[in-house]
Chain A
């Protein structure tokens, strides 16, 4: 018994068999569950966009999406237009929310005029919301979000999410206390130039009363994730500035 399993030939055969079995098992699981998983992700995007424009089931302190079952219906009801902006060209596309920002960013290779920028226009209580997706990197992995703005680029709502930030620290960007701070913040400075919103340490405004300082209070212990949020707001939302300029003219 002992000798048999010590043989080189046995070891190699065992290794090959194990790889084949485990590989087949994983491949089978992944491919059979894939449709279900991508459906979940599609609905999650709709929930995220709705969340950013204030259609959610929030209670006093925690962030809650509208239910999965109702999301597609509400999405159709509140989102009146889905646009894709490429350079000066603006077209309607009801699949715009499925654009993968990461792939699009890579394909454009730094040329902003080649980007396909999705923008979702929603109506709620007679108000118009412009929701834009953003994508960047935190400390460990990707972070992303959806920001809804009014026509003056004042933030009306924000949703952030992350792939693998530290629980209790960077992962708190998806908590209400952080996301709610962005509501009412101006993305433009007093002269109307794009400035973004900085996640700032020690800005002397922890309760975030000053909405025109282009700053929100950072999370202690999550400096790099916070900087990532600052960076993705700055780089991604800036691209929408020309659209909002046109809107006014």
Chain B
């Protein structure tokens, strides 16, 4: 039992949050789609958190890897009839390979250079998605993507889709948590603290950064694949700068560098469209303003306030 008021507040908030999710899941409410969407973002934001919160690096280009996952899954399943799980795996491998190559070059950069380099990476992936029409369908995107399935079981109803996505979200958070507590995770934390000190302790700094980048790319790619299957349609806009802004807003609202931050942030911000009910233009505006306010007023986010 919690011993003080803050402890009780945490318990109550946690129970309320979980029961709201459970209620929506059981009653099959229209909010289920929004919840599923938030669950996909948990996977994406968990990867951002791994790379930035835990390893202390900077990437504004994670949408590029989500695009590889999304387009990979869409093309392989809708156009070539691959089973979804295999397509997801193949896309994630491709994302890992791209991250390995790109990471070798860009992770030598630091600070502003790394930030702008990765931002350019995201922008270029968007341009490729628009320009390479015979493969990506240009602005029109790709439709008719089948739902997720394993063997003979397909997630077809809203509730089944949500369960799969929720499972993915929990797995993502859990695996990042495990990774953070492993030997490699401690090396990551050392690099985040001070690269010189980490190197002095025998950590291979460059290798640690690249591996973390590759791991984050795989999570982002899986999130992209899930997005493709859950919605059944993708276009360049899905993986544009919008995704980066939403991801960062979620990460900072939830609390960067915390275990539950991505989960909390993704669900709080993911439900925001249901509250404001506007067009995407207004949504991004709201996300941007929320992000600025959080950065100025509460840099620790909700999970930061939680811990205090």
B is bound to A: no
Interface residues of A (CB under 8 A from B): none
